[in-house]
A and B are shown apart, each in its own frame.
Chain A
Amino acid sequence: MLENFSFRTIVEYLPLFGQGLVTTVWLSALSFAGALAVGIVLSAMNLQRGRLLRVPAKAYIDAVRATPLLAQLYFLYFGLPRLGFILPELVVGILALSLNSGAYVAEIIRAGILSIPRGQVEAGVASGMTYVQRMRLVILPQAFKVVIPPLLGQAIVLVKDSALLSLISVAELTRAGQLLASDRFMPAEGFVTIAAFYLLLYYGLKGLAALSGRWLGSQPARSRA
């Protein structure tokens, strides 16, 4: 049983957990920014009529979605040095998370843009707008509203996925739990604590998603203005 569950050790290791938490937060934030960049480029490619850009984007998205993140992580971790890129584990991890989440972000953005009724585009055309004007003034402002909640959902997935970076020894939150397990033979204390920290992040992001939903939902419709 857990009668010798040691809160004392948890408190003693709190700075380590704190550092891990901070690392998890900023590496997730950085990876999410990377994922947005990758996703925007991919979705733009994917929405083209020409096959030259669309086919590679689709192939990339399918390849990422049909293989596990851990295999992708190892692919970069063991593969990049062979190509002559010797990068720190942390950079490899952020790269893997960005490239992986980017594929999902691309699908979210594409779905958001495609959710705008055709009539909107046609109205733009009829008003004599150029392609860029239509995108900037008509489609993107509306798609933005649709895209925010699923993007926050993807951010939650990304934070949880970042735990896998501990397997290539990045010193993030899960790694802190592993250290407690291996140094002090206290796996219960270590993993229960980090689970609590992850839940903190989860409920934070979930609250943000709910808030954004309410905020976006209550915005006055622009078309009526």
Chain B
Amino acid sequence: MIWQQLQSLAGSYPLALRGLGMTVMLSLISLVLGTLIGFGLGILRNGGNWVVSGAIGTWVDLIRGTPFLVQIFLIFFILPEFGIELDAFTAGIIALTNLAACFICEIVVAGIRSVPTGQVEAALASGLSRWQRMRQVVLPQAMRIVLPPLVGQYVLLIKDSSVVSAIGLTDLTRVGWLVVQRVPNGLLVFFLVGLGYFIVCYPLIMLARRLERRMGAAHGEVQI
């Protein structure tokens, strides 16, 4: 019986590959976009304008305060009411990117605040422009604090991408759900699904730990 199940499982490997591909695609796209937007938001949040900074802070808090599943449902079901037609993939990307951007914004803010004011003052005294100050003085030093939790955030993002299966995207978790309807061995099927995630996430966790030790950061903002 277990032999039959294994055969049946082997037969569904194209589906599994497609699922893995979907998970990787979703994670990768939202990881890149989320990092870019997150850094932008973090820098703006630390900028002088209190309206912008307050608006970003409020948005980040709203996103941190609600379950990701609810955010996906809101985006998938409510944006169409504003006349924006979305397929599930786009909705998933928007939700994941937004989530990543908000958490990365917080990480970047913490990193920038960790840079001693003397550094900024020295840059000011040297006549560096605002942009030069950020790019050449503050950010390079902030990266020491930012990098370990950033990698940790990527792990969270990959794991959170499993939630988009709730709006019908065929990612790795959804594939497990489909296969278990045919091969009634939940332990085996979801062990394999878990293994898929583990292979991607575990090296990143190790990297985050190594960075944390190397960068000598006392503690990160995010636990993986």
The B interface, classified by DSSP as helix, strand, loop or mixed, is helix
Given the interface pairs A67-B198, A72-B194, A82-B187, the reply to whether A199 lies near B77 with Cβ below 8 Å is: no
A181 to B72, CA, bound (A): 14
For B69, B82, B190, B219, the residue with the greatest tally of chain A CB atoms inside 10 Å of its CB is B69
Chain A residues 160 to 199 lying within 8 A of chain B, measured CB to CB, are 160-164, 166-167, 174, 177-178, 181, 187-188, 191-192, 194-195, 198-199
**Across the interface, which residues of A come within 8 angstroms of B70, CB to CB?**
163, 174, 177, 191, 194-195, 198
- Which residues of A are found within 8 Å of B21, using beta-carbon distances? none
Contact partner, A1, options B81, B172, B186, Cβ 8 Å:
B81
> Is A65 interfacial (CB 8 A cutoff)?
yes
Closest Cβ neighbor of B80 among chain A residues:
A187
Q: In the complex, what distance in Å separates the CA atom of A69 from the CA atom of B155?
A: 13
CA distance A203 to B70 in the complex (A): 17
Is B191 in contact with chain A by the CB < 8 A criterion?
yes
A70 to B162, CA, bound (A): 7
If A163-B67, A199-B65 touch, does A66 touch B202 (CB 8 Å cutoff)?
A: yes
Judging by beta carbons under 8 Å apart, are A203 and B65 in contact?
yes
A69 & B73 in contact (Cβ 8 Å cutoff):
no
- Which chain A residues lie closer than 8 Å to B163 at the CB level? 68, 70, 164
Within 8 A of A (CB), among B8-63: 62
Closest CB in chain B relative to A170 CB, distance in Å? 13
Residues of B within 8 A of A69 (CB): 159, 162
| Interface pair B197/A78, CB less than 8 Å apart | no
Beyond A163-B67, A198-B65, whether A1 also contacts B82 by CB under 8 A is yes
Given contacts A78-B189, A163-B69, A174-B69, contact A71 B81 (CB under 8 A): no
Q: Does B123 contact A (CB under 8 A)?
A: no
The reply to whether the CB of A79 lies closer than 8 angstroms to some CB of chain B is yes
- Residue pair A160, B66 in contact (C-beta under 8 Å): yes
B88 at the interface (CB under 8 A from A): no
Do B159 and A187 touch (CB < 8 A)?
no
Identify the closest chain A residue to B177 (Cβ). A74
A-facing residues in B54-98 (Cβ within 8 Å):
62, 64-71, 73-74, 77-78, 81-83
Beyond A167-B166, A187-B77, A195-B74, is A70–B173 a contact (Cβ under 8 Å)? yes
Nearest CB in chain B: distance from A191 CB, A: 5
CA distance A63 to B224 in the complex (A): 12
- Tell me whether A225 is interfacial, beta carbon within 8 Å: no
A-B contact count (CB 8 A): 137
Nearest-CB residue, chain B, relative to A108: B223
> B184 near A: Cβ within 8 Å?
yes
Tell me how far the C-beta of A208 lies from the nearest C-beta in chain B, rounded to whole angstroms: 14
- Give, as a whole number of angstroms, the nearest-CB distance from A28 to chain B: 11
Taking the complex as formed, is A13 at the interface, i.e. its CB lies under 8 A from any CB of chain B? no
B176 within 8 A of A: yes
Q: How close is A157's CB to chain B, nearest CB, in angstroms?
A: 9
Q: For B201, what are the chain A residues with a Cβ–Cβ distance below 8 Å?
A: 65-67
Cβ contact of A188, chosen from B77, B165, B198, cutoff 8 A = B77
Is the CB of A88 closer than 8 A to any CB of chain B?
Answer: no
A188 to B75, CA, bound (A): 10
A68 touches B190 (CB 8 A): no
Considering the complex, give the chain B residue whose CB is closest to the CB of A154: B223
Minimum CB–CB distance from B200 to chain A (whole Å) comes to 8
Q: Which of B149-206 contact A (CB under 8 A)?
A: 155, 158-163, 165-166, 172-173, 176-177, 180, 184-187, 189-191, 193-194, 197-198, 201-202, 205
CB distance from B191 to the nearest CB of A (A): 7
Contact residues of B with A, CB < 8 Å?
62, 64-71, 73-74, 77-78, 81-83, 155, 158-163, 165-166, 172-173, 176-177, 180, 184-187, 189-191, 193-194, 197-198, 201-202, 205, 219, 223-224
Task: A164-B163, A191-B70 are known; give 6 further A-B pairs, CB within 8 A.
Answer: A65-B155, A65-B201, A67-B159, A68-B160, A71-B190, A164-B69
Binding site for B on A (CB under 8 A): 1-2, 62-63, 65-72, 74-75, 77-83, 104, 107-108, 111, 150, 154, 160-164, 166-167, 174, 177-178, 181, 187-188, 191-192, 194-195, 198-199, 202-203, 206
